[in-house]
């Protein structure tokens, strides 16, 4: 294995953005590649406790929920390879519950371990949720009027700012550091994509169009900084449905519940973003 063939991929996302379910689904597929051309795992990470702790729940078709913060333990990671080319990759999360990214926004600082990791990354995955508003709920008219009527002013907390505002700031930190390559390949993962495809939902069914409409600020930042970030957008359903639907869906194996949409292309190969980041597709 040569150094130039090692690829480090960073996972970015706020709390409950769908990171854990995605990584569980990818891990299962890496362990059971469908063909010789598919990505597969090539070894065990230093510490798989984070993955194994939630594996039974994921395979049973149950929501994982918010994961605990643990900055002291080993960084959760997946090791994988593409056998035909010998290309190897490492997918890693500097903080499983997303607090490190919110701290970056709210406190204007970042952990040295996370910052130093930027020196070695070749690409990143950025997670947003399809079923969570990208706007700042505190600034909506009804909530403002309620405060005025009650005479009580609710203090504003930076961590409650719009998700896309926080994520744009995280990306600006990365871009401004000068530590990562330019342009940095960035796969935007819109999780809970099954909610978009439900009957009666009028949101765009194309992931790129969805991002443009629902996360307009994030979309504008990425589209006007294409010299810094080379972006591709995916819609992903790692579980296949909501908690009620999973009662039926859990009769299927995990690899049959997943779905990933890239433009007009739909498949169950949830490793597609990794393949694009490694420039295999």
Provide the residue range defining the domain that includes 61: 3-277
pLDDT in tens, 6-25: 799 999 999 888 898 899 89
pLDDT in tens, 177-192: 999 999 999 999 999 9
What share of the chain in percent tops pLDDT 70?
79
What share of the chain in percent tops pLDDT 90?
44
| Cα end-to-end distance, the chain, whole Å | 21
Mean local confidence (pLDDT), 118-142: 80
Residue 34 pLDDT more than 80?
Answer: yes
- Count of CB atoms situated within 10 Å of the CB of 254: 24
Rounded to a whole number of angstroms, the CA Rg of the chain reads 19
Between CA 180 and CA 120 the distance in angstroms is 7
How many residues would you count in the chain?
Answer: 281
CA-CA-CA-CA torsion for 247, 252, 256, 257, nearest 10 degrees?
Answer: 10
pLDDT score recorded for residue 206: 95
Between CA 212 and CA 218 the distance in angstroms is 8
How many domains is the chain built from?
1
pLDDT score recorded for residue 6: 79
CATH no. for residue 160?
Answer: 3.40.50.300
pLDDT in tens, 224-270: 999 999 999 999 998 766 666 656 666 666 677 789 999 989 999 99
- Count of CB atoms situated within 10 Å of the CB of 41: 17
Place of tokens 């706020």: 14
Model confidence at 146, pLDDT cuts 50, 70, 90, reads: low
Instruction: Report the mean per-residue pLDDT for the chain.
Output: 83
């Amino acid at each position: 294995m040569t150094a130039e063939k090692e690829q480090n991929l960073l996972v970015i996302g706020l709390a409950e953005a769908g990171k854990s379910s995605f990584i569980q689904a990818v891990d299962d597929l890496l362990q059971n590649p469908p063909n010789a051309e598919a990505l597969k795992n090539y070894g065990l990470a230093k510490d798989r406790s984070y993955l194994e702790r939630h594996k039974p729940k994921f395979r049973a078709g149950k929501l994982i929920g918010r994961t605990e913060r643990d900055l002291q333990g080993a960084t959760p990671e997946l090791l994988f390879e593409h056998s035909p080319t010998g290309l190897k990759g490492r997918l890693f999360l500097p903080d499983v519950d997303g607090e490190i990214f919110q701290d970056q926004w709210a406190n204007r600082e970042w952990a040295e371990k996370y910052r130093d990791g930027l020196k070695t990354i070749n690409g990143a995955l950025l997670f947003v949720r399809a079923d969570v508003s990208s706007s700042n709920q505190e600034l909506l008219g009804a909530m403002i009027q309620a405060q005025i009527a009650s005479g009580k002013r609710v203090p504003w907390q930076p961590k409650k700012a719009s998700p896309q505002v926080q994520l744009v700031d995280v990306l600006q930190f990365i871009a401004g550091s000068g530590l990562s390559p330019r342009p940095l390949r960035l796969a935007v993962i819109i999780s809970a994509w099954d909610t978009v495809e439900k009957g009666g939902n009028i949101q765009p069914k194309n992931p790129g169009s969805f991002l443009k409409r629902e996360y307009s600020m994030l979309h504008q930042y990425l589209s006007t900084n294409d010299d810094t970030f080379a972006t591709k957008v995916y819609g992903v359903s790692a579980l296949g449905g909501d908690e009620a639907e999973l009662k039926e869906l859990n009769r299927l194996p995990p690899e049959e519940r997943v779905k990933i949409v890239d433009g007009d292309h739909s498949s169950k190969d949830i490793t597609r973003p990794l393949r694009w980041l490694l420039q295999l597709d």
